[in-house]
Amino acid sequence: MAKRTKIVATLGPATDAPGVLEALLRAGVDVVRINFSHGSNVERRRRIEAIRAAAARVGRDVAILGDLQGPKIRVECFRGGSVELREGDLFALDASLAPDAGDEHAVGLAYKALPADVRPGDVLLLNDGAITLEVEQVAGPRVSCRVRAGGILSDHKGINRLGGGLSAGALTDKDREDIRTAAELGVDFLAVSFPRDAADMEETRSLLHAAGGRALLVAKIERAEAVENIAEIVRASDVVMVARGDLGVEIGFAEVPGVQKNIIRVARAMNRVVITATQMMESMIHEQIPTRAEVSDVANAVIDGTDAVMLSGETAIGRYPVKAVEAMASACVAAEKQRATSISHHRMDDVFERIDEAIAMATMYVANHLDVKAIVALTESGSTALWMSRIRSGIPIHAFSRSESTRRRVAMYRGVYPVSFDVLAEPDGSFAAICRTLIARGIAAVGDRILLTEGHEAGVAGGTNTMKILTVEAPA
């Protein structure tokens, strides 16, 4: 059984060893993530070239996701590298301190606007929520706090305000430069860190298009404000990512499961793609098998309808990157056996405005109520395949496209499998060519029933207006 849920794997030092990239793709990776927070442009270009070469050797269309760093809401450095904060201690965050002057009493701030953003009584969470400080006084550049939950605080650890509200914009000067780099490198998806509203996504899209990029935009939901503005952010994006690390710190870890379910529901209802990320198999950075809780976490996201699940440190720096992908793929396949993943009531009461969308919805209704082996969507833009993938179904959707960029994009869509096919090269015998491709790839056999969607004018984006119920024929 082929998995329908897609796997995003982060590249890093652990994936640079010879043969690892190919092994990751064979294990089930569909999208690779390039983290712009680390490394140089030279390293990014080298990794992108390596993954393109590995995908060609494996015979797969693999998408590349570039992930912008976003604002650095962090402390600066300590003279000794770290300090231990104890409950009840006084500790200050001081924007006027030198970057390397931190000690057990105070530390500098990379985020200089923090004193203007907080007031007495606010709760600040450091190091992914492991350390809790309560603001007692703000005097000029100095924020004096009382330690409520202590621990080891080291260089460059992140700062969150419980409930959100920090004024940092989503895009920094570095991000704006990286957007131009992403356009040059030709990434297929571009993720925006810490967006607050639709305006952040619209600004990114404008900058990307101005640089000549055409990547689909991913909104990383990791701020409390983003949760409040979820509908407008989803509408302004192509993909949303449930980035549970910073999100859990800002809204509280107990709130994350419910918020995750709602984000997945909203994204699918608005025909957007959704990724679930952060610590999905965190233990596999060091261990060869996941915990039962991690497997359940992946399975719940799959059952809820996520398009993709993401690995971060597990593949970037972990000891067992390939085993992590294999474990995640197994968890996805097992979860997809649940009946809930094949039942859909999506948009049953809606009126469709576009013919191609209506065809996509009709096709999935037929697929779920007729014995068919596969769905073949002849597509230029991938839109028909996207709409189909919003319907829960166990029937595989094969996006036949001559466009390499389209095939890479649909690699992210749940239940959609890209197939290289040039409909314009076979204008008179296209169905015969489709049958040859289906048989050669083991998708269907002679006599199997399939559904085919296509446009009256071949090769025209947005022109899908026909659904056919056909039987696979033997090659002439």
Q: How far is CA 373 from the centre of its chain?
A: 29
Amino acid at 156: H
What residues form DSSP beta bridges with 240? 219, 274
Backbone φ and ψ for 445, nearest 5 degrees, come out as -120, 165
**Can you give the length of the chain in residues?**
476
Backbone φ and ψ for 397, nearest 5 degrees, come out as -110, 120
Cα 249 from Cα 236, distance rounded (Å): 25
Annotated catalytic residue, options 74, 244, 272, 373:
74
What residues form DSSP beta bridges with 243? 277
DSSP designation for 78: B
Task: Give the torsion sign (CA, 229, 67, 265, 209).
Answer: positive
- Concerning whether 172 is annotated as a catalytic residue, the answer is no
Annotated catalytic residue, options 278, 306, 315, 406:
278
DSSP strand E in 80-196: where? 82-85, 90-94, 106-108, 123-126, 131-139, 142-149, 151-154, 159-161, 189-192
Annotated catalytic residue, options 33, 60, 161, 323:
33
Question: 151-154 and 82-85 as β-strands: parallel, antiparallel, unpaired?
Answer: antiparallel
Q: How far apart are the first and last CA of the chain?
A: 30
Q: How far is CA 295 from the centre of its chain?
A: 19
- Angle value at C-alpha 363, between 377 and 391, nearest 5 degrees: 95
Cα 450 from Cα 371, distance rounded (Å): 9
Tally helices (H) and strands (E) across the chain: 16, 21
- Concerning whether 161 is annotated as a catalytic residue, the answer is no
CB 376 within 8 A of CB 438: yes
Annotated catalytic residue, options 220, 223, 390, 392:
220
For residue 343, count other CB atoms closer than 10 A to its CB: 12
- Concerning whether 220 is annotated as a catalytic residue, the answer is yes
- Concerning whether 74 is annotated as a catalytic residue, the answer is yes
Catalytic machinery residues? 33, 74, 220, 278
